[in-house]
Amino acid sequence: MKETRGYEYSTDLLVIGCGFSGMWAAMRAKDFLDDVLVVDKGPRDWGGLGGLSGGDMIVKQPDMNLDDLLDDLVYYYDGLADQRILGQILTQSYERFMDFENWGHKFVRNDKGELCFIPQRALDHMRYYYYHPYGMGGIEKARLLKQECEKRGVRRLGRTVITDVITDGERVTGAVGFHSQSGVPVFIKARAVLLATNTGGWKPSYHQNTPASEGVSIAWNAGCAMRNFEFWKVWNVPVDFAWEGQTGLLPKGARFLNNKGEDFMRKYSPKFGAKADPHYNTRGMVCEVRAGNGPIVFDCSQMKPEDVETMRPRAGWMGLNDKKLRAMGIDFFAQKLQWMPQVRHTYGGIVADLDGSTAVKGLYAAGLARNPDPGVYMGGWATCITATTGYSAGEAAAHFVQGHDAVPFDKALAAEKLNGLLKYLGRDGIAPKDVIDDMRTVMSAPDIALMKTGRGLTRGLDRVAEVREEFAPRMGARDAHELAKLFEAQSTILLTDLSLTAALTRKESRAGHFREDFPERDNAHWLKWIEQKQVDGRRELHTVPVPIDEYPVKPYRYYMDNFNWPDHRHAG
Amino acid sequence: MIQSIDPAACTGCGTCTKTCPLDVFRLVTQQEEISPCMAACPAGVDIRRNNYLIQQGRLDEAAQNFLNFNPFPVITGRVCFHPCESKCSRAKVDEAVNINAVEQVLGDRLMDIPQEAAVQRHITRVAVIGSGPAGLSCAWYLAQMGYPVTVFEAKPFPGGMLRYDIPAYRLPDEVIASQVERLERLGVKFCCNTLVGDNADVSISDLKKRGFKAVMLAPGASAARKVDIEGVEAEGVHWGLDFLCACRSDEKPEISGDVVVIGGGDVAVDAAITAKRLGASRVHMACLESRDAMPAYPHNQKDAENEGVEFHCGFGPARILTEDGRVSGIELFACTSLKDESGRFNPQFDESSKLHLAASHVIFAIGQKSELDGFAGDVTVERGRITTEEVTFATSAWGIFAAGDAATGPSSVVSAIAGGRECAISIDRMLKGADMTGERARKRPCVPEEKLPGEGIRHEPRHERELLPADPEHPFAEHTKPLDMEACFAEALRCMTCGSKSRITYTDDCMTCFNCELNCPSGAIFVHPFKERFARTLDQIEVAKS
Ligand SMILES: Cc1cc2nc3c(=O)[nH]c(=O)nc-3n(C[C@H](O)[C@H](O)[C@H](O)COP(=O)(O)OP(=O)(O)OC[C@H]3O[C@@H](n4cnc5c(N)ncnc54)[C@H](O)[C@@H]3O)c2cc1C
Ligand SMILES: Cc1cc2nc3c(=O)[nH]c(=O)nc-3n(C[C@H](O)[C@H](O)[C@H](O)COP(=O)(O)OP(=O)(O)OC[C@H]3O[C@@H](n4cnc5c(N)ncnc54)[C@H](O)[C@@H]3O)c2cc1C
Ligand code: SF4
Ligand code: SF4
């Protein structure tokens, strides 16, 4: 039977997304507010990707000097670091680290009681702290965050897909969506809304299928500016199975080998080898395959036995996975298994102030929904970002609520917006998954995914336009489950468009962005962020110069300069 | 990638449906073996399926499904003594699911849906005598089946004890009125102020003459039992049901000073709390039973305690003390035993052990009985009850059926509802000329103890309805707040849907996170470690020609 009336909720602060950032935000906001509601399209309380993660965490310990860490980041990000927000994240990281410790979550220490850490990407100061047994860090953190939310009386709701934030033209009044299993409309009146959806991506072969870029849709349609979409995460993964931990394995001696058994990254970067950011490894792989040296395998044979012991997962999904693989005769640490790069998600995010406030009054963003990184990766960084930005945005949103009266929520407007989607429910047509898959295929072309070219990006954009015009309107959702996928599909088209457009615009190479047709860095033109937003239904793209003068660290060295790539500009 | 579920191992706990991030699983709740709660529900409500539907966000569907078993969740969601919860397997994990609170949400939601008229399919008319829950339920199902139904009620308003005895703070007038209105919209006719029986306004044979081919008797048991001890005639002595009934009228009894309620059952609790709300300074409850054998349901005892009622267990009334014809107190004797050797109720007292309580009012709530003289000429009445057959609820007279307190003795709203429903089924079968019993006697088996979920289920705190403090301006305003929507969903999620079976439904959505296998308490799930092989990148690269 059709449920007609929908479910209605009212709250002081609506947090969208019950991952780490959402839980941090909700928990902190509840310290100030009577009522905080967290909704997630996934299960109630599941903890988002954090619950699957290793839970490794980058922290600026009190004895570290902020400028040293910023110096690392400015170098790593090839100058494109937003030093204000990065400074704040690092500064606040220790308090959040201590919150975990005070809740009983003890990071690993050595015999002398000193915290153990793993340096990241051959940087001097960026290092993550970890939990034992390996594989339980994320699960445990998720459990604790849920416990803290519960203790404080945060209300939590699962299986609720938010599709739009509702405003009165100026200020947020709530949000609208639907129940992901029944398709029943959901109306939430709120005095402020916090987006902790993660931006998400292209539903890779394992994990990270949950944030499927709906957050991008929501923010885009609310009128937020979006930044950094020319950067996307390419992650090197085993071809056959899931495995996480390379951020710890590579610094401990693991390597990628070509079919000749060569640790080929030494060739492209004698200094770093395979210890660098994964996107550089990816480029190395492309060059090797082009040279006929594929396939690429992962090799742990140079690791010390005690390190293998530390890094062999014992618990959680990683432990189970390893056990199953070994039962099938696959020993990750003893065999050389085939790997490949895979596009996962965007590094783009919502432009927000230090406190998480966006261009829309009363709308806040936290965690990976805002994403301050230009496409290079550090293990443990997401746990740090989600904790700090979640906590501070939760606090700021709470203060906003305290300082502003409730405004009327226009349910008719919300219903109208939702109907744009609900009209597909019960309709047969193109499977939304096919559209998502199509966008993923677009993004996986080597001249888009790995070494971008103008030609590849343009071809990708053409396909986006074709799918948007020809297939998207003909999609169908036979049930609510498919309707959720349909919203993902629509969002993925938008995401792909924003990503390819930004990447085509940045005619240079820097950090995670490598244009084979523009392999050099161009500080004169491109020490800038690219931002896009929707104005009167149209895309507006502009650039924002990095305010280097206002920053403590001036770029003087560049991570990308540690690599030498063969020049393929005129090849093929 | 998710591969299989072993159906023999799956206990139906639903952990997989509740935790899979990609929502790959669905439960099949329609199984031959029923859950313990369903077995315990006198109306046999499909609690397992309803809770699952709510888990799936299908609240209105759950509400509609509810109506197949019980038309008045809005009433039972407030007053049912919920024997289901005492059998809930979740109690072994942490606490029973708050089935009743969820039921109230379903009922309240139904209130918002306008009731459509039933399609008339039959010409034969049916008479229902008594408009308590048994009569109303019978009328509901008959009307749904398409029969023209008339309900005859002696009192001015329909509802029976729901309307006249159960205190309004537990069951507001509007709730009952709304249900009567739904019945009227459905097409049921009410004929109030009409006492049925011999020497009354209309007799059963009159009804037959008027063309009612079937009659359902549901006159309840609403006469207060009385005792005859010294002082019962004094001003300030009240009889439980009369007292409560008066409290639901516009002329409520005036109560001040201390009050003693005699009785330890649920009616006594209602009387005690009502007295408190009417302005009593102290309220005492005295009963023959010891504290742990008090007959009132524990949740009602707790309510009384919350309202500050003082218990005096193990005492029976000896005499009422009076001053100028008014109650001034009561003397009680300690009760030494309740039953005689043959197990018959025969309380013994130690007259040397006395309790003296000063009081300006004494309320007796020591039981109720039926008044069935008017029907004794038509159907067999034994020991104050109308004799009925077990499955069909048929009386000794063909075409006359009976249910509710008049047939069972004082019982409960839900039993009355279930009885009324079964009468309707019998009447339908009888009027159509079908076999009345059919397979109705067959009881579905319950999920065996060893196959019940419980072990390894994560703790989740039970959600309670908020108890509102009595408002001096509106002492009979409803005393609890329904669960809000979020709490209702969370509470339904606590249900372990015992005995269901999980099915992999959206296989292709699996992201190989292993959550389901790790979380399944029964080890029923197998996730293959190989993941999806798309999307490939390197194999698209051509080897450069050198
Ligand atoms: C296997 C694995 C291991 C990892 N290991 C580490 C590690 O060791 N250290 C580290 O720092 N990082 C690690 N990461 C990354 C890190 O866990 C995540 O980036 C981080 O937890 C993201 O947090 P978030 O709260 O911003 O987003 P998410 O966890 O993605 O949460 C966003 C939530 O929003 C919900 N949502 C999205 N859209 C909507 C919508 N429209 N309506 C309602 N809800 C919505 C989603 O369901 C999701 O629950 C790992 C990730 C994975 C997958
Ligand atoms: C104070 C009190 C509190 C209770 N609380 C609860 C509770 O919380 N939960 C619970 O489950 N149960 C409770 N009960 C018990 C419950 O109310 C009864 O079991 C239930 O109402 C019985 O339903 P019934 O339809 O058989 O009869 P009744 O509800 O008694 O209805 C019978 C109706 O028939 C009418 N009638 C009788 N004779 C004739 C006639 N000859 N002609 C026409 N009309 C006639 C009466 O006027 C009455 O309206 C309570 C009872 C009392 C007294
Ligand atoms: S026993 Fe396992 S497979 Fe069955 S419902 Fe529970 S979690 Fe799912
Ligand atoms: S492995 Fe993960 S995504 Fe797949 S069915 Fe199990 S819980 Fe769902």
3-state DSSP helix/strand/coil percent for chain B, to nearest 5?
A: 35, 20, 45
B514: distance to nearest CA of chain A, Å? 6
Whether A321 sits inside 8 A of B514 (CB atoms) is yes
Query: What is the 8-class DSSP label of residue B476?
Result: T
Whether B58 sits inside 8 A of A445 (CB atoms) is no
Distance CA B253, CA B280 (A): 11
With a 6 Å cutoff on the Cβ, whether B50 touches ligand 3 is no
CATH architecture of A236-343: Alpha-Beta Complex (3.90)
A316: distance to nearest CA of chain B, Å? 7
What are the two backbone dihedrals, phi and then psi, of residue A487, each rounded to the nearest 5 degrees? Answer: -65, -40
Q: Which residue stretches of A59-135 are H helix?
A: 66-76, 83-102
With a 6 Å cutoff on the Cβ, whether B2 touches ligand 4 is yes
Of A1, A343, A480, the CB nearest to B64: A1
Distance CA A374, CA A349 (A): 10
Instruction: Ligand 1: list residues with CB < 6 Å.
Output: A 16-22, 39-42, 48-50, 52-56, 161-162, 196-198, 207-208, 210-211, 214-215, 218, 244, 367-368, 379-383, 386
Q: What is the Å distance from ligand 4's center to A321 Cα? A: 13
Q: Using alpha carbons only, give the angle B315, B318, B324 rounded to the nearest 5 degrees.
A: 125
With a 6 Å cutoff on the Cβ, whether B374 touches ligand 3 is no
Whether A156 sits inside 8 A of B490 (CB atoms) is yes
Task: Report the candidate in A501, A270, A279, A255 with the shortest Cα–Cα distance to residue A374.
Answer: A279
Distance CA B543, CA B368 (A): 94
Q: Say if A187 is an interface residue toward chain B (CB within 8 Å).
A: no
CB pairs under 8 A between A and B: 170
Instruction: Identify the H or E element spanning B390.
Output: none
Domain B1-32+499-546: CATH class, spelled out: alpha beta
Nearest-ligand number for the alpha carbon of A347: 1
pLDDT at A388 over 80: yes
CATH architecture of B226-367: 3-Layer(bba) Sandwich (3.50)
Give the model's pLDDT for residue B546. Answer: 66
Task: Report the candidate in A410, A365, A13, A397 with the shortest Cα–Cα distance to residue A187.
Answer: A410
Across the strands, what pairs with A166?
A174
List the pLDDT tens digit at each of the 546 positions of chain B: 999 999 999 999 999 999 999 999 999 999 999 999 999 999 999 999 999 999 999 999 999 999 999 999 999 999 999 999 999 999 999 999 999 999 999 999 999 889 999 999 999 999 999 999 999 999 999 999 999 999 999 999 999 999 999 999 999 999 999 999 999 999 999 999 999 999 999 999 999 999 999 999 999 998 888 989 999 999 999 999 999 999 999 889 999 999 999 999 999 999 999 999 999 999 999 999 999 999 999 989 999 999 999 999 999 999 999 999 999 999 999 999 999 888 888 999 999 999 999 999 999 999 999 999 999 999 999 999 999 999 999 999 999 999 999 999 999 999 999 999 999 999 999 999 999 999 999 999 999 999 999 999 999 999 999 999 889 899 999 999 999 999 999 999 999 999 999 999 999 999 999 999 999 999 999 999 999 987 889 999 989 886
Q: Half-sphere exposure (CA, 13 Å, Cβ side) for A438?
A: 25
Whether A340 sits inside 8 A of B60 (CB atoms) is no
Average pLDDT taken over every residue of chain A: 95
Instruction: Identify the H or E element spanning A447.
Output: helix A446-449
Distance CA A228, CA B380 (A): 86
- Residues in CB range of A297: below 8 A, 6 or more apart: A256, A257, A336, A337, A338, A339
Give me the numbers of helices (H) and strands (E) for chain B, helices first please: 18, 23
Task: Report the candidate in A3, A126, A2, A5 with the shortest Cα–Cα distance to residue A73.
Answer: A126
Q: Say if A210 is an interface residue toward chain B (CB within 8 Å).
A: yes
Q: Using alpha carbons only, give the angle A21, A22, A26 rounded to the nearest 5 degrees.
A: 120
Q: What is the Å distance from ligand 2's center to A227 Cα? A: 68
Distance CA B318, CA B349 (A): 9
**CB of B121 within 8 A of CB of B149?**
no
Q: Which pLDDT band, with edges at 50, 70 and 90, does A572 fall under?
A: very low
pLDDT digits (tens, 9 = 90+) for A467-487: 999 999 999 999 999 999 999
pLDDT at A327 over 60: yes
Dihedral class, residue A129 (left if φ above 0, else alpha if ψ from -120 to 50, else beta): beta
What would the CATH number be for the domain defined by A7-105+132-232+347-414?
3.50.50.60
Question: Which of A7, A16, A53, A347 has most ligand 1 atoms within 8 Å of CB, for mutation?
Answer: A53
Residue B478 identity (one-letter amino acid): E
Give the model's pLDDT for residue A4. Answer: 59
Q: Say if A341 is an interface residue toward chain B (CB within 8 Å).
A: yes
Q: Say if A571 is an interface residue toward chain B (CB within 8 Å).
A: yes
Residue reference for tokens 């708050």: B98
Burial of A417-446, coded b for 16+ CB within 10 Å and e otherwise, reads: bbeebbebbeeeebbbbebbbbbbbbbbbb
What atom of ligand 3 comes closest to residue B17's alpha carbon? 8
Q: Domain coordinates of chain B in residue numbers?
A: 1-32+499-546, 125-222+369-432, 226-367
Percentage with pLDDT > 90 across chain A:
93
Strand ranges (DSSP E) for B130-262? 149-152, 189-191, 212-217, 223-224, 237-239, 259-262
Task: Report the candidate in A118, A97, A140, A128 with the shortest Cα–Cα distance to residue A316.
Answer: A140
Whether B537 sits inside 8 A of A450 (CB atoms) is yes
With a 6 Å cutoff on the Cβ, whether B407 touches ligand 2 is no
Give the model's pLDDT for residue A249. Answer: 92
Give the model's pLDDT for residue A1. Answer: 44
Whether A444 sits inside 8 A of B514 (CB atoms) is no
With a 6 Å cutoff on the Cβ, whether B427 touches ligand 3 is no
Give the model's pLDDT for residue A3. Answer: 47
Q: Using alpha carbons only, give the angle B50, B54, B57 rounded to the nearest 5 degrees.
A: 145
Distance CA A344, CA A450 (A): 12
ipTM above 0.90, yes or no: yes
Q: Half-sphere exposure (CA, 13 Å, Cβ side) for A258?
A: 22
Closest B-chain CA to A150: B461
Whether B517 sits inside 8 A of A320 (CB atoms) is yes
With a 6 Å cutoff on the Cβ, whether B97 touches ligand 4 is no
Distance CA B81, CA B67 (A): 18
Strands B212-217 and B400-402: parallel
Helix axes B59-67, B99-111, angle to 10 degrees: 90
pTM of the model: 0.95
Q: Tokens representing B38?
A: 């369903």
> What is the per-residue DSSP string for A144-185?
HHHHHHHHHT-EEE-SEEEEEEEESSSBEEEEEEEETTT--E
Distance CA B288, CA B312 (A): 9
Nearest-ligand number for the alpha carbon of A324: 4
**CB of B196 within 8 A of CB of B384?**
no
| Topology of the domain covering A424-562 | Methane Monooxygenase Hydroxylase; Chain G, domain 1 (1.20.58)
Q: Domain coordinates of chain A in residue numbers?
A: 7-105+132-232+347-414, 236-343, 424-562
Q: Tokens representing B318?
A: 């000896």
A572: distance to nearest CA of chain B, Å? 8
Distance CA A385, CA A48 (A): 14
What's the Rg (C-alpha) of chain B? 28
B23: distance to nearest CA of chain A, Å? 7
What atom of ligand 1 comes closest to residue A22's alpha carbon? 25
Mutate to test the interface with A, among B514, B526, B528 (most CBs of A within 10 A): B514
Poorest-pLDDT segment among A128-137, A322-331, A436-445, B489-498: A128-137
Of A52, A234, A445, the CB nearest to B540: A445
pLDDT digits (tens, 9 = 90+) for A544-556: 999 999 999 999 9
Q: What is the Å distance from ligand 2's center to B413 Cα? A: 8
Distance CA B399, CA B51 (A): 38
Q: Which pLDDT band, with edges at 50, 70 and 90, does A372 fall under?
A: confident
* Residues of chain A numbered 318-337 and touching chain B (CB < 8 Å): 320-321, 324-325, 328
CATH architecture of B125-222+369-432: 3-Layer(bba) Sandwich (3.50)
Query: What is the 8-class DSSP label of residue B348?
Result: E
* Cα four-point dihedral sign A8, A12, A16, A22: negative
pLDDT digits (tens, 9 = 90+) for A56-113: 999 999 999 999 999 999 999 999 999 999 999 999 999 999 999 999 999 999 999 9
Residue A255 identity (one-letter amino acid): R
Give the model's pLDDT for residue A567. Answer: 79
Question: Which of B26, B514, B526 has most ligand 4 atoms within 8 Å of CB, for mutation?
Answer: B514
pLDDT digits (tens, 9 = 90+) for A494-541: 999 999 999 999 999 999 999 999 999 999 999 999 999 999 999 999
